[in-house]
Structures are given as C-alpha cells and as structure tokens.
Amino acid sequence: MKDQSHEALTAKDYLSDVHPIWCPGCGHFFILRALAKALAWLRIPNEQIAVVSGIGCSSRIPAYLNTYGFHGLHGRALPLAAGLKTSRPDMHVIVAGGDGDGYSIGGNHFLHACRRNMDMTYIVMDNEVYGMTKGQPSPTTEPDWEAKLAPHGTGIRTFNPLGIALASGASFIARGFAGDQNGLTKLIVDAIEHKGFSLVEVKSPCVTFRPEEKEWQKTMRRMNIEPTADVIEAAQRIHGSDGLDTGIFYRAEHAVYQPGTSEEKSMADLEKEFEV
C-alpha cells in the first residue's frame, strides 16, 4: 500500500500499479475510475477501505485498487464482506462483482445481504452476460438474446435486481451507467455515505461478447427526481422503468445490523470451543 501522508487526494491515489487486463473498451474500466474518484472525493484513508469480490472479469477489481482487497470465491463476496464488517466495523467495506456472480451463484447471499442491512456498499457491474467464461447468458440476459452458447435464447425472463433488492429490504437502491462518469461517481459517493446496505447496479458494456451494449451510451438516461423513502413509490419507479434510467430509486433509514464484537477471543479459545 502506498504512503498516504499527503493532503490532496486524487483518483490516482486509490489505483494500484497493477494494469487491468480487461478488454479495451470494457465498461469496467470506467467503474474502476468512478470508484477511485468517489473514494478520493470522500477522502477515506486507503487503509480504512476493503474491497471484496467474487469471481469474474469485474471481480478482478480489488487488485487494481490501492486498498485492502479480497478476491474470494464465486458468488461468495457478500458473506465474506459480512464477516469482515463484523470483525472490523470501522472499515469501509465495498463489495464488487458481476451479474452472474452476484445474482446467480450468489443470489441467495444477495437476498440476505439486503435483508440484513449491514453498512456496506455493493457495486454490481452488470453486462448481462458471463464475460470471463466466454459469453453464456446470465440472470439479467434478456430471454431472446441469441448467441453461440444460446442459439435460440434462453426463453427465461430476466432477474430484476432493483425490485428484488427492494422486496428483500435493502435501504439504498440505485442504478448507474459506466459511461456516465460524473453521475456514477456521485452515486457511489452517496452509496458509501449511506448507513446500511447500498446497492449500486451499474450497466457496464461487455464489448467482446455483447458489442451491441455500446448502444447504451445513447440510450441510458439520468432520472431527474429525488430519491424516495416510500416503498410503494420506489416499486412503481423500479417496475415502471425500462431499465435504462439511472439514479437513486430508493433511500431510507432502516436499522443497521452490526453484530457485537465486544468479546475478544484468541485462536486457542476458539479451538477449544469447537473441540469435539
């Protein structure tokens, strides 16, 4: 970790020396940049941040940041982050990953992370495809998307992350777009500042397996409305959206879950407790 004893912080201070191996033009580059800018804006000390991920192209992100990081198992980033937050409530915990990792393999954890409402931010880099494993349909892929690995489409309706987050009890629900750098940076700032579980679902084009997603640059749009704390209104906004609106759909104060950590136990104590 670089020395951070200087005063003025920029996005660069939060980027590591590791060069991303994402395909040129991949949306994830812009999310990485927006996250680094958000951290600089908030002036959070590097050593107070932990970025936890699962598996997939997007889940490589901890390596590219000059913070603590953990590249975990497929779909398991959220429980890993919950464990980290339990033992280190002082840390800013940011979880990042893709649509396949978070909504399919990790779908169950997603529901309970929303419900539990621990104070952490979950950034889902959603490109509606499994990119790293070469283009299989993911939970957010539309049913009629025809690809080499899905010649007639899946015929299965898409997963609605925002609606499911709302139904499961998340207290901050937003959608961003990788191509809207300022808008996305602001959303991430708001999400990190929010007390509780904040979901930022970010549309991020996979230029290799879904080149048509480059069109999002023309079609994604900002919602110019204030966030609501009313569940019914939020549900109407989420279900009334064609999926191209960005902004905060719901923000409310829910009780934040933080298990007590008062009882310090040594490894020897724990081993004894679990002895059979």
Q: Which residues in this chain contact ligand SF4 in the complex, by CB under 6 A?
A: 22-23, 26, 28, 57, 127, 131-132, 206-209
Residues lying near Mg ion in the complex (CB under 5 A): 98-100, 127
Give least dist CB 4 to Mg ion, A.
32
Beta strands in the chain (DSSP E): 49-53, 68-71, 92-98, 120-126, 172-177, 197-203, 221-222, 245-251
Separation in Å, CA 20 to CA 32, 63, 94, 257: 10, 8, 19, 34
> b/e per residue, 81-107, with b = 16+ CB within 10 A?
bbebbeeeeebbbbbbbbbbbbbbbbe
| 208 or 241: CB nearest ligand SF4 | 208
Between 138 and 171, name the residue whose CB sits nearer to ligand SF4: 138
Query: How far is residue 272 from each of residues 191, 268, 275, measured CA to CA in Å?
Result: 41, 6, 5
Q: How far is the CB of 102 from Mg ion (least distance, A)?
A: 9
Output the CA–CA distances (angstroms, integers) from residue 123 to 108, 120, 192, in the order listed: 17, 10, 10
Nearer to ligand SF4, 160 or 208 (CB): 208
By a kind-dependent CB cut-off of 5 to 8 A, residue 57 interacts, out of ligand SF4, Mg ion, none, with ligand SF4
- Closest to Mg ion by CB, 6 vs 148, is 148
Q: What is the largest CA-CA distance in the chain?
A: 62
Residues 6+ apart with CB under 8 A from 83: none
Contacted entry of ligand SF4, Mg ion, none for residue 246, CB cut-off 5 to 8 Å set by kind: none
Give the separation between CA 107 and CA 126, rounded to whole angstroms. 14
Question: Least distance in Å: CB of 198 to ligand SF4?
Answer: 23
Residue 16 interacts, among ligand SF4, Mg ion, none and using kind-specific CB cut-offs from 5 to 8 Å, with none
Q: Closest CB to Mg ion among 131 and 196?
A: 131
What is d(CA 198, CA 98) in angstroms, rounded to the nearest whole number?
16
Give whichever of 22 and 250 is closer to ligand SF4, judged by the CB atom: 22
CB of 267 to Mg ion, least distance (A): 38
209 binds, among Mg ion, ligand SF4, none (CB under 5 to 8 A by kind): ligand SF4
| Amino acid residing at 113 | A
Give the CA distances from residue 185 to residues 30, 77, 215, 235, in Å, rounded to whole numbers and listed in that order: 10, 22, 21, 24
Q: How far is the CB of 125 from ligand SF4 (least distance, A)?
A: 8
- Report the nearest approach of Mg ion to the CB of residue 131 (Å): 5
Out of Mg ion, ligand SF4, none, what residue 99 binds, judged by CB under 5 to 8 A for its kind, is Mg ion
If contact means CB under 5 to 8 A according to the sort of partner, which of ligand SF4, Mg ion, none does residue 23 touch?
ligand SF4
CB atoms within 10 A of CB 240: 8
Closer to ligand SF4 by CB, 29 or 41: give it.
29
